[in-house]
Amino acid sequence: MSRYLDPEGLEPSKPSACSRFLRYTWKTITCIFSHIFLVSLVVSYCIFGAKTFETLEKDHEMEVKKNISSIRGRIIDKLWFNLTSEPYLREENFTFLIVKHLKEFEGELLKAMNKDGWDGEEDINKVQWTFAGALFYSIIVITTIGYGHIAPKTTLGKVVTIFYAILGIPLMLLCLSNIGDVMATSFRFLYWRVCCYICTKKPKKPRRVRQRGGTIRREGGRGSYRSKTQSLRRSVRTSTRSADSGFDYGDVNPLSHSDTEIRVHEELPPMKVRGASLPRMKPGQNSRFREMSTVNQRPNQYGAGRVQQRGGSLDRRRAPKVWDPSLDLNTFPDAPVLCNKYALEGPEIESNHIQRGGIRRSFERSRGRRAVSMPRTHNYLELPVPVSPARSTEDLRPRQSESLKRPSPSRHHASPRIMSPLGYGSKSLYIEEESDTEYFDDGMSFESSRTTRIRPVPIWLCVFLVVSYIFAGAFLFTAWENWDYLDSAYFCFITLTTIGFGDFVPAKRVTENAEMSIALCSLYLLFGISLLAMSFNLVQEEVIANVKSVAKTLGIIKSDDIDDDDD
Amino acid sequence: MERKRSFRRRKQRKPFSEKCKDYLRKFAAFMFSNVGIIGLVVGYTIAGAFIFTSIEGHTEQEVKINILTSRNQTINRLWEVTYNLNVLYKETWRNAVEIELFKYQKDIIEAARNGYDGSDDVDEFKQWRFAGGFLYSLTVITTIGYGNILPRTPWGKVATIIYAIIGMPLFLLYLSNIGDIMAGSFKWIYAKCCLCRCCPGVARRRAERRRRRALQLSIEYINSRVDSRNNSDLSQASVHNIHMEEYRLNSLGGSSSDDEEEEDSDGVTETDVSYDSQAVTVPLTICLAIMVGYVCGGAILFSRYEDWNLLDGSYFCFISLSTIGFGDIVPGDKIYSGKGYELSFIFCSMYLMLGMALIAMCFNLMQEEVIHKIRTTMRTVRYILRCNR
CA gyration radius, chain B: 33
Residue A529 in this model has a pLDDT that exceeds 50: yes
Which residues in chain A (141-160) have CB-CB distances under 8 A to chain B? 141, 144-148, 151, 153, 155, 158-159
**Among A422, A453, A484, residue at a domain's last position:** A453
Q: What residues in A contact B251, CB-CB < 8 Å?
A: none
pLDDT number for residue A33: 83
C-alpha distances out from residue A242 to A193, A346, B346, B376, Å? 29, 44, 38, 17
- Residues A480, A400 share a domain: no
Which residues in chain B (335-364) have CB-CB distances under 8 A to chain A? none
Of residues B177, B311, B368, nearest to A561 (C-beta): B177
Average pLDDT for A256-270? 40
- State pLDDT tens for residues A277-311: 344 444 444 444 444 444 444 444 444 444 444 44
What chain B residue is nearest to A169 in terms of C-alpha separation? B322
Residue B238 in this model has a pLDDT that exceeds 60: no
The better pLDDT of the pair A304, A101 is held by: A101
Amino acid at residue number A78: K
What chain B residue is nearest to A563 in terms of C-alpha separation? B173
Spatial CA neighbour of A551 closest among A538, A531, A566, A539: A566
The better pLDDT of the pair B351, B91 is held by: B351
Spatial CA neighbour of B207 closest among B142, B254, B281, B272: B272
Average pLDDT for A250-260? 38
Average pLDDT for A533-539? 84
Average pLDDT for B285-314? 88
User: Cα(B276)–Cα(B278) distance, rounded to whole angstroms?
Assistant: 5
- Residues A425, A528 share a domain: no
The whole-angstrom distance between B374's CA and the closest CA on chain A is 6
User: Cα(A141)–Cα(A169) distance, rounded to whole angstroms?
Assistant: 8
Residue A87 in this model has a pLDDT that exceeds 80: no
Which residues in chain A (266-285) have CB-CB distances under 8 A to chain B? none
Q: Residue A429 and residue B372: Cβ atoms within 8 Å?
A: yes
Q: How many degrees, rounded to 5, is the angle at CA A335 between CA A277 and CA A344?
A: 105
Q: Residue B176 and residue A567: Cβ atoms within 8 Å?
A: yes
**Among A453, A472, A493, residue at a domain's last position:** A453
Residue A388 in this model has a pLDDT that exceeds 50: no
Q: What residues in A contact B379, CB-CB < 8 Å?
A: 250, 253, 379, 382
Q: How many other C-beta atoms can be found within 10 angstroms of the C-beta atom of residue A346? A: 10
- Residues A348, A270 share a domain: yes
- State pLDDT tens for residues B107-159: 888 888 777 777 766 666 666 778 788 888 998 999 888 888 888 888 999 99
Which residues in chain B (109-128) have CB-CB distances under 8 A to chain A? 109, 112-113, 116-118, 120
Residue A354 in this model has a pLDDT that exceeds 70: no
- A199 three-class SS: coil
Per this entry, what is the length of chain B? 389
Helices (H) and strands (E) in chain B, counts: 12, 0
Question: Does B157 contact chain A (CB < 8 Å)?
Answer: yes
User: Cα(A326)–Cα(B33) distance, rounded to whole angstroms?
Assistant: 44
Question: Does A202 contact chain B (CB < 8 Å)?
Answer: no
In DSSP notation, A428-445 reads GGGHHHHHHHHHHS-SHH
Report the CATH number at residue A493. Answer: 1.10.287.70
- Residues A368, A255 share a domain: yes
Question: Residue B30 contacts by C-beta under 8 Å, 6 or more apart in sequence?
Answer: B36
pLDDT number for residue B159: 93
The CATH architecture one would assign to domain B284-388 is Orthogonal Bundle (1.10)
pLDDT number for residue A556: 60
Q: Residue A114 and residue B112: Cβ atoms within 8 Å?
A: yes
- Residues A424, A327 share a domain: yes
Of residues A554, A555, A565, nearest to B173 (C-beta): A565
The better pLDDT of the pair A380, A484 is held by: A484
Total domain count, chain A: 2
Question: Does B14 contact chain A (CB < 8 Å)?
Answer: no
- State pLDDT tens for residues A452-495: 456 677 888 888 999 999 999 999 888 888 888 999 999 999 99
| Mean pLDDT value across chain A | 63
- Residues A428, A468 share a domain: no
- Residues A347, A470 share a domain: no
B367 within 8 A of B336, measured Cβ to Cβ: no
User: Cα(B120)–Cα(B338) distance, rounded to whole angstroms?
Assistant: 12
- State pLDDT tens for residues A43-58: 999 999 999 999 998 8
What chain B residue is nearest to A498 in terms of C-alpha separation? B143
pLDDT number for residue A272: 40
Average pLDDT for B355-377? 89
Residue A500's Cβ-side half-sphere holds a number of Cα atoms within 13 Å equal to 26
Reported as a pLDDT band with limits 50, 70 and 90, residue B166 is very high
C-alpha distances out from residue B118 to A95, A503, B240, B335, Å? 19, 18, 80, 8
Whether A173 is in a domain gets the answer no
Tell me the ipTM for this assembly: 0.74
Whether A324 is in a domain gets the answer yes
- Residues A336, A232 share a domain: yes
- Residues A473, A424 share a domain: no
Question: Residue A58 contacts by C-beta under 8 Å, 6 or more apart in sequence?
Answer: A127, A129, A130
User: Which candidate in A86, A91, A106 is best for mutational testing of the B interface (most B CBs within 10 A)?
Assistant: A106
**Among A453, A470, A487, residue at a domain's last position:** A453
Instruction: Look up residue B336 and give its DSSP letter.
Output: T
Residue spans of beta strands (DSSP E) within A216-319? none
Lowest mean pLDDT, pick from A9-18, A140-149, A371-380, A527-536: A371-380
User: Cα(A173)–Cα(A237) distance, rounded to whole angstroms?
Assistant: 11
Whether A171 is in a domain gets the answer no
C-alpha distances out from residue A551 to A28, A237, A460, Å? 40, 23, 21
- Residues A355, A491 share a domain: no
pLDDT number for residue A517: 81
The CATH architecture one would assign to domain B30-182 is Orthogonal Bundle (1.10)
Which residues in chain A (105-124) have CB-CB distances under 8 A to chain B? 105-107, 109-110, 113-115, 117, 120
B263 within 8 A of A374, measured Cβ to Cβ: yes
Whether A140 is in a domain gets the answer no
Whether A94 is in a domain gets the answer no
Amino acid at residue number B203: A
Q: Residue A148 and residue B276: Cβ atoms within 8 Å?
A: no
Give the structural domain span for A465: 459-566
The better pLDDT of the pair A448, A181 is held by: A181
- State pLDDT tens for residues A398-447: 444 444 434 333 333 333 332 222 222 233 333 333 333 333 333 344 44
Q: What residues in A contact B140, CB-CB < 8 Å?
A: 499
A337 within 8 A of A312, measured Cβ to Cβ: yes
pLDDT number for residue B387: 63
Reported as a pLDDT band with limits 50, 70 and 90, residue B22 is confident
Question: Residue A519 contacts by C-beta under 8 Å, 6 or more apart in sequence?
Answer: A132
The whole-angstrom distance between A196's CA and the closest CA on chain B is 31
pLDDT number for residue B123: 65
Whether A163 is in a domain gets the answer no
- Residues A407, A514 share a domain: no
Q: How many other C-beta atoms can be found within 10 angstroms of the C-beta atom of residue A187? A: 20
Q: What residues in A contact B298, CB-CB < 8 Å?
A: none
Average pLDDT for A514-530? 86
Whether A505 is in a domain gets the answer yes
Whether A535 is in a domain gets the answer yes
In DSSP notation, B50-108 reads HHHHHHHTTHHHHHHHHHHHHHHHHHHHHHHHHHH-SS--HHHHHHHHHHHHHHHHHHH
- Residues A244, A267 share a domain: yes
Question: Does A550 contact chain B (CB < 8 Å)?
Answer: yes
Q: What residues in B contact A258, CB-CB < 8 Å?
A: none
